Amino acid sequence: KNKVLNNLKLIHPNISKIEKNNFLKLFSKNLGLTFSEFLFNEEYQKHQKIKLQKCSQITEIMEATDIKRPILIVSGHIGPWEAVRALLKRNGIETAAIYRKSKNTFYQPFHHKNIEAGGKPIFQVGRSGTTAMIKYLKKGGVVCMMIDQAVSEGKYVNFMGFPAKTSFAIASIAIKYNALIIPA
């Protein structure tokens, strides 16, 4: 709660107490729904009803997959993060994912299974996972990743008036392998 409120204060320093409480309620509802969808990702993948405003919204992705051009779809932990993979799967595009292994040994197998339900292969964060991901991309693979987590390497950039460390690895990979980058 404090982390959410501190971050909210950064972008809305003059927000009222009522607005904060309303935001927290909506945030909590959205987080709970998203996490529930993830915990039942196999069912979510089968039954989600996300619709594009226009079919042309995925035309570029479909064209790139037809010519085996690597694709990196980047997002953050915003809303139902498995929705993009579900939508693409429904349109015949299998997507790989990158994941950070859970430190909870009891939860980890469940976590792994649910990410895999969205598409295969999945690559664990780290040197061997990155190597496998690059091999997959070179063959024209589609990889979905969330790039909003803290990184140890990277450079500080200005983000909303504050220094934030970010990795340039994805941009470097995209340039090196002529990968299409799609924000989602």
Both structure tokens of 49: 């009803």
Report whether 68 contacts 139 (CB < 8 A): yes
- Predicted confidence at residue 68, as pLDDT, reads 96
Both structure tokens of 101: 């292994």
When computed from its CA atoms, the radius of gyration of the chain, rounded to whole angstroms, is 18
Q: pTM for this one?
A: 0.82
The pLDDT tens digits of the residues spanning 37-72 come to: 888 888 888 887 777 777 777 889 999 999 999 999
- Predicted confidence at residue 159, as pLDDT, reads 81
Both structure tokens of 154: 């990277």
The Cα 69–Cα 102 span in angstroms is 31
- Predicted confidence at residue 87, as pLDDT, reads 87
